[in-house]
Amino acid sequence: MEKGARKSFLASPNLDGARLDKTIHNQFPDWGRQAVKALIENRQVRVNGRLVWLASWKVKAGDKIEVSNPPDSKPRSHHVFDPEWLVADEGDLLVVNKPAGLRAQETLAGGVDNLLRLAQNAFGDDIRLFHRSGSGYFRTMPSDPSRTGERLSGSGIQKPVGGKGVCSPDFGSRTT
């Protein structure tokens, strides 16, 4: 959003007594929780014309909440594997450029989209993660996964210098 922009709304009755940060995040779910917290801490929020800098401030139904300099919306989470992420498909080996912000695999808490699940939905449940950065997946587990580096060296996928490239520092970009 542009500097100096303002957003305002009236607190809904179902959030009567809720914290200010929860109320703002409920109204603008595309703003990250950290962005909402920063707005409040940086004194960019007014409640009924009064400057408020406490995230725990209790909001009453009908309070007018004004936000100065609202943040850009956070990127939407990914729900489908994007073929643009595929750097190489070497039969039983996939090399993937994991998008920033997308988890490589499911967390203990679960419930969050992750690259492994999206790849399994796109390519089948036999996909297995072999590299924690989320850049390498096997369609079928090879007899000796430790030899993956040797396989990649002959596949046209090169390790980038200084960790720069399309993929993680361990794989890099495809050369043709």
Give the tens place of pLDDT for each residue, 12-59.
Answer: 898 899 999 999 988 887 787 888 999 999 999 999 999 999 999 999
Enclosing H/E stretch for 35: helix 33-41
Enclosing H/E stretch for 136: strand 136-138
Class of domain 6-68: alpha beta
pLDDT for 73 equals 75
Measured CA to CA, the distance from residue 171 to residue 150 in angstroms comes to 12
pLDDT for 106 equals 77
3-state secondary structure of 111: coil
The label of the residue with tokens 């993660």 reads 129
Confidence of residue 139 (pLDDT cuts 50, 70, 90): low
Contacts of 143 (CB under 8 A, 6+ apart): none
Q: Tell me the per-residue pLDDT of 95-138, one tens digit each, with 9 for 90 and over.
A: 888 777 777 777 665 666 788 888 888 888 877 776 655 455 55
Global pTM value: 0.46
Mean pLDDT of 136-143: 53
Domain boundaries, the chain: 6-68, 83-163
Burial class (CB in 10 A: 0-12, 13-18, 19+), 95: buried
Contacts of 30 (CB under 8 A, 6+ apart): 73, 74, 76
